[in-house]
Amino acid sequence: MNAEPWIVVDQFLGECLLPVDAGLEGALATNAREQLPAIDVSPLQGRFLNLLATLLGARRILEFGTLGGYSTICLARALPSDGLLVTLEAEPRHARVARGNIDRAGVGDRVVIREGKALESLAWVRAEHPAPFDLVFIDADKPNTTEYFRGALEMSHPGTVIVADNVVRKGEVANAASTDASVLGMRRFLEAVSREPRVQATALQTVGAKGHDGFLIARVR
């Protein structure tokens, strides 16, 4: 199937289900102006994350990979006024753009952006925000996803939900002969999850404005 119908359907569903959102549209416009990679979650995926956090009654959220803050805004909007979202971003320029977007969207009081490589930031998170997180969203560099997952597990409690984005890689995740670092990272991650007795997990393929990809969703036992 040509990808174009998927994009048309995504646009149609968005027009049906999502109201005009100045905060999110402004963030995307700023990201484009600042020439950030256009790899944010789609509007429908952002609403999915928001609804998931709402359904969980999440009060504390950890995010690996801020980029320009689009998914951060979606998640932070589900938090109560005294909630906390800690988001980890390796690129200082991305963090700067994200801070502006998040503040303009009105959720800056709930969001802490930590600059630096995520694996190096985990010790800081444990020291500064030691209570377990209710929801973790992993959407950073793919080769390190397994390490992010293991770090997330150590900061979780029974019932915490961990969501990892981009696990399907246009179907290449099923290609055992792939030499792509991101594909290999996701294959290693899926194997680690399958061997982890502390979680129950599934994965869902997605198709739409972002092409063929998917989420992994795990619940800590």
What b/e readout covers 45-75, taking b as 16+ CB neighbours within 10 angstroms? bbbbbbebbeebebbbbbbbbbbbbbbbbbb
Question: What pLDDT, in 10s, does the model give residues 66-91?
Answer: 999 999 999 999 999 999 999 999 99
d(CA 213, CA 206): 5
Q: With respect to CATH, is domain 4-220 assigned 3.40.309.10?
A: no
Domain boundary assignment for the chain: 4-220
Mean pLDDT of 12-33: 97
3 pLDDT higher than 60: no
Among residues 144, 126, 137, which one has the least CA distance to residue 85?
137
Q: Which residues contact 177 (CB under 8 A, 6 or more apart)?
A: none
pLDDT at 144: 98
208 pLDDT higher than 70: yes
Location of structure tokens 């109201």: 19
Mean pLDDT of 37-55: 97
Question: What pLDDT, in 10s, does the model give residues 117-164?
Answer: 999 999 999 999 999 999 999 999 999 999 999 999 999 999 999 999
